[in-house]
Amino acid sequence: MSTRQRGWVVAGVVVAGLTALLGLVAAPLLGGLFLVTAVVTLLPLPMAESPKICARVCLVTGLGLLVWTLVGAVIGMFLFVPAALILVIAAFVGPGSGSRPGPWFSAITPLVAAAALALSLHQMNQVDPDNEPPPYFRATVDSMDRARDPQFNQSTERLWDYGATDVQVYERAGQPVVDVNMPETFTRGRTESDLRDEIADLPGVVHVYRCDFYTCTGEQP
C-alpha cells in the first residue's frame, strides 16, 4: 500500500472513530452500534501488504458502510457518510492498477451495494397484513436525564396495570422516547384511552403518539 493510500485509509478510520465518539456523547443508548460501525472501518488495514486486495476491501467496506448509513439513518448512522466516502476514495488513490480494485470489481461492487440497499428498504417496508404488528403508543420525553432517572422508570411500571404489554425507554435520533405496546383487546374495564392518559401523565412527557407499522399520529398532552 502506498503512503498516500494508507493516509486515506487512516483518515477514514479516524473520521469513523470521531463519529463513534460523537454518537457515544449524543446518543449513549446507541453507543454500541456506533462503536461496531466504527470498528468495521479497520478492515482494510490488515491488508496493507496486498495493495489490490486492500483497495478492494476499501471499496467493499466504504460502499457497505454507505448502505448502512442509509438503512440506519433514523438512528444516526448517516453521520458515518464522510468516513464511508473516504474509504471509497482510498480504493482508487493508489499508484497504478496493481493498487486499485480493477475495472470489473469496480463496476460490480456498486451494483451489488445498490441491490443490497434496495432489498433492505423493500424488506423494511414489506409487511404481511396477517402478521402486521398491533398499534402502540410512543411518547417523547423532555430530556435524557429524566429518561435515565430511576424514579421515571418506576413511574412507568404503573402502565402495566392499564393494559401495557411491554414498555421500552430508549433514545431515537437523539430524542428520548417511551414505546408502550398494547393488547389487541383490553380487559378489566381498561381502555386504550385510559392507557394513553396514563402515559401522558408520566413526568416529562411532551407528546404521545399512537403508532402503527406505517406512521405515528398524536397530540401534545
Residue 176: which CATH number?
A: 3.30.70.260
Q: Residues 121, 197: one domain?
A: no
**Residue 83's pLDDT is what?**
96
Say yes or no: 15 and 120 in one domain.
yes
The residues of the chain scoring below 50 in pLDDT are: 220-221
Residue 209 β-bridge partners: 138, 218
pLDDT of residue 130: 58
3-state secondary structure 94-159: CCCHHHCCCHHHHHHHHHHHHHHHHHHHHHHHCCCHHHCCCCEEEEEECCHHHHHCHHHHHHHHHH
Check the CA dihedral 88-92-97-103 and report its sign: positive
Q: 60: number of CA atoms within 13 Å, CB side?
A: 13
Last residue of a domain, one of 125, 155, 182: 125
Check whether residue 9 and residue 92 sit in a common domain.
Answer: yes
Q: Which residue range forms the structural domain that includes residue 111?
A: 3-125
Q: Which long-range contacts (CB under 8 A, 24 or more apart) does 178-185 make?
A: 178/138, 178/139, 178/141, 178/147, 178/202, 178/205, 179/136, 179/137, 179/138, 180/136, 180/137, 180/138, 180/139, 181/134, 181/136, 182/134, 182/135, 182/136, 182/137, 183/134, 184/134
118 and 135 co-located in one domain? no
Q: Note whether 140 and 186 are same-domain residues.
A: yes
111 with 134, same domain: the answer is no
Whole-number pLDDT of residue 135: 85
Q: 35 and 141 share a domain?
A: no
Number of compact structural domains in the chain:
2
Same domain, residue pair 121 and 78: yes
- pLDDT for the residue numbered 158: 86
Give the up-direction half-sphere exposure of residue 79: CA atoms within 13 A in the CB hemisphere: 23
Assess whether 86 and 59 both reside in one domain: yes
At residue 184, the 3 state secondary structure works out as coil
Last residue within a domain, chosen from 104, 125, 146: 125
- What pLDDT does 221 receive? 47
- Name the pTM for this structure: 0.61
Q: Which of 68, 95, 125 is the last residue of a domain?
A: 125
Shared domain for 136 and 186, answered yes or no, is: yes
Domain co-membership, 72 together with 141: no
141 & 90 share domain: no
Tell me how far CA of residue 62 lies from CA of 13, 21, 82, 129, 182, in angstroms: 11, 19, 10, 36, 41
